[in-house]
């Protein structure tokens, strides 16, 4: 369900406070983009796979407890075994939380937008005219291999930070091709 506020009556088309042009509601655009790609982090395990890993780990960690059953050594090892399983479970939970990150890149002949949805619910938005957008793959001297940035609209943003270096290089080629078609 989409909820749109009618801001036109309140001056939505009036210039923005920073002088960057008219304020336009982000969802107002009705025409379909010429190019669109939605990026998200890779999830290598399904919920069933995570359950299987936890069960196998529990069995594997319980094996050394078998001979110690009924002895004081059992009670000494038990907190470490439970701690290891607990940290594994917490790692899966954190991975699920971080998996809520998405980046949506949309391209029209007159506008390019990137909308990044953070796992905590924040939404970060960037837009620029496609003619002025510069896409750069930082290969030499960068901390991260194939670091991809978009520059335009007075800002430079990182694109696809969670992708592998090869995926970022392929994304650069794909976005450059789309930008060339639009220009």
Give tens-digit pLDDT for 80-91: 999 999 999 999
Domain final residue, candidates 98, 116, 136: 98
More confident residue, 28 or 94: 94
* Whether 110 contacts 129, CB under 8 Å: yes
* CATH assignment of the domain containing 122: 2.30.29
- 123 lies in the same domain as 170: yes
Q: For 112-152, how does the pLDDT look when each residue is reduced to its tens digit (9 = 90+)?
A: 999 999 988 899 999 999 999 999 988 777 677 888 999 98
Provide the pLDDT confidence category of residue 11 given band limits of 50, 70 and 90.
very low
Residue 69 has phi, psi (to 5 degrees) of: -60, 130
**Cα(28)–Cα(145) distance, integer angstroms:** 37
- 121 lies in the same domain as 158: yes
**Cα(1)–Cα(129) distance, integer angstroms:** 29
Instruction: Report the mean per-residue pLDDT for the chain.
Output: 82
The answer to whether residue 125 sits within a structural domain is yes
The answer to whether residue 28 sits within a structural domain is no
Residue 2 pLDDT > 60:
no
- 114 lies in the same domain as 176: yes
Nearby residues of 150 by Cβ (< 8 Å), 6 or more positions away: 112, 114, 126, 128, 133, 134, 135, 156, 157, 159
Domain that holds residue 118: 34-41+102-182
Q: Which long-range contacts (CB under 8 A, 24 or more apart) does 60-65 make?
A: 61/85
- 111 lies in the same domain as 168: yes
The answer to whether residue 129 sits within a structural domain is yes
The answer to whether residue 21 sits within a structural domain is no
**pLDDT value of position 10:** 30
The answer to whether residue 169 sits within a structural domain is yes
- 87 lies in the same domain as 128: no
- 53 lies in the same domain as 119: no
Number of domains the chain is built from: 2
Q: For 151-176, how does the pLDDT look when each residue is reduced to its tens digit (9 = 90+)?
A: 988 899 999 888 888 999 999 999 99
- 148 lies in the same domain as 176: yes
- 107 lies in the same domain as 171: yes
């Amino acid at each position: 369900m989409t909820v749109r506020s009618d801001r036109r009556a309140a001056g939505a088309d009036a210039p923005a406070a920073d002088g960057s042009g008219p304020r336009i509601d982000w969802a107002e655009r009705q025409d379909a983009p010429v190019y669109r790609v939605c990026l998200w982090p890779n999830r290598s395990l399904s919920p069933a796979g995570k359950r299987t890993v936890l069960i196998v780990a529990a069995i594997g960690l319980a094996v050394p407890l078998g001979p110690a059953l009924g002895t004081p050594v059992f009670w000494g090892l038990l907190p470490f075994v439970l701690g290891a399983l607990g940290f594994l479970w917490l790692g899966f939970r954190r991975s699920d939380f971080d998996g809520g990150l998405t980046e949506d890149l949309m391209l029209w002949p007159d506008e390019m937008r990137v909308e990044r949805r953070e796992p905590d619910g924040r939404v970060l938005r960037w837009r620029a005219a496609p003619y002025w957008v510069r896409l750069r793959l930082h290969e030499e001297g960068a901390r991260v291999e194939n670091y991809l940035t978009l520059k335009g609209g007075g800002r430079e943003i990182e694109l696809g930070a969670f992708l592998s270096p090869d995926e970022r290089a392929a994304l650069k080629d794909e976005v450059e091709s789309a930008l060339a078609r639009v220009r």
